[in-house]
Chain A
């Protein structure tokens, strides 16, 4: 198996994983689920999906490490602060 084929497979699996995560998130966000308990899970899913896009589609896993750090750092920071905002809104 050559690199090109491995790369394509990897991309396809990434895509399928992203679609699965999206479906799960959509179900979690529905009215049947108790909303508050879904918050951390939805944020974690968003970060996980973002990391897949950054590493695989943007191909930053093959770029100088600081670029991956910057983009993943952005994701984690934004998600964490959103979590803080939601928590502070619960009270």
Chain B
């Protein structure tokens, strides 16, 4: 890859020329990310425009959601993203021993998200709420569950990165895999940033 060493050891300062600009990670991952964003986008807009026809129902049922759990999950995902960012930075700086620590911290945050989310689902399940209860709950469960599956996949990806980092696979000259996985995780975060206000807060 045509990236000079100076650029690799620094933390990617904004490149002076267009030619220095490069996409972190593999192009294929980015196309995958775009496809995912498209699917989530269509889902979000389906929610928003369906709500316009059932405003009262959506508003009252939305108040039954656990907003604090949603906010804590936002904090956990953002923190996980920050840790992943630091892991990439550590790899770029050649600080191998810190890569897997940051990834482990990110994994812990991801696991925290899963625990909070499962608690939320358990409470709704105990209240007898299912996909067929109402249009709002159908959307709430579909959107959050579809996202939840992405978090699980993201955790698997981070797990693989962690194992490989422990084996010393990543460094300034070998970033492609780490950056690809990191980009995917940030996408999971990005989607939640829209999903949380949309489903939990906006009314």
Q: Taking beta carbons and an 8 Å cutoff, which residues of A are in contact with B?
A: 2-4, 6-8, 11-12, 14-15, 18-19, 22-23, 25-26, 28-31, 35-36, 38-39, 42-43, 45-46, 49-50, 53-54, 56-65, 67, 70-71, 74-75, 77-79, 81-82, 85-86, 88-90
> Residues of A contacting B51 with CB < 8 Å?
85-86, 89
Across the two chains, which residue of chain B brings its CB closest to A8? B89
> Residues of A contacting B63 with CB < 8 Å?
31
The verdict on B79 contacting chain A, using a C-beta distance below 8 Å, is yes
A39 to B10, CA, bound (A): 41
The 20 listed contacts between A and B (C-beta, < 8 Å) are A4-B10, A4-B93, A7-B10, A7-B89, A15-B79, A19-B75, A25-B197, A26-B68, A26-B71, A29-B197, A38-B201, A42-B202, A46-B197, A56-B85, A59-B24, A71-B190, A75-B194, A78-B45, A89-B52, A89-B53
What is the CB-to-nearest-CB distance from B54 to chain A, in angstroms, rounded to a whole number? 9
The verdict on B104 contacting chain A, using a C-beta distance below 8 Å, is no
Across the two chains, which residue of chain B brings its CB closest to A39? B202
Cβ contact within 8 Å between B23 and A67: yes
> Residues of A contacting B105 with CB < 8 Å?
none
A57 and B81 contact, Cβ closer than 8 Å, known pairs A2-B10, A85-B52, A89-B51: yes
A57 and B67 contact, Cβ closer than 8 Å, known pairs A45-B197, A74-B41: no
A45 to B79, CA, bound (A): 18
Cβ contact within 8 Å between B45 and A62: no
Scoring B13, B59, B81, B86 by chain A CB atoms within 10 A of each residue's CB, the highest score goes to B81
> Residues of B contacting A18 with CB < 8 Å?
78, 82
Q: In the complex, which range does the number of interface residues on chain B fall in?
A: 35 or more
Across the two chains, which residue of chain B brings its CB closest to A9? B11
A66 to B79, CA, bound (A): 27
Cβ contact within 8 Å between A63 and B22: yes
Cβ contact within 8 Å between B67 and A14: no
Q: In the complex, which of the residues A57, A67, A71, A85 contacts B82, with contact meaning CB atoms closer than 8 Å? A: A57
> Residues of A contacting B197 with CB < 8 Å?
25, 29, 42-43, 45-46
A61 to B93, CA, bound (A): 19
Q: In the complex, which of the residues B22, B55, B67, B85 contacts A26, with contact meaning CB atoms closer than 8 Å? A: B67
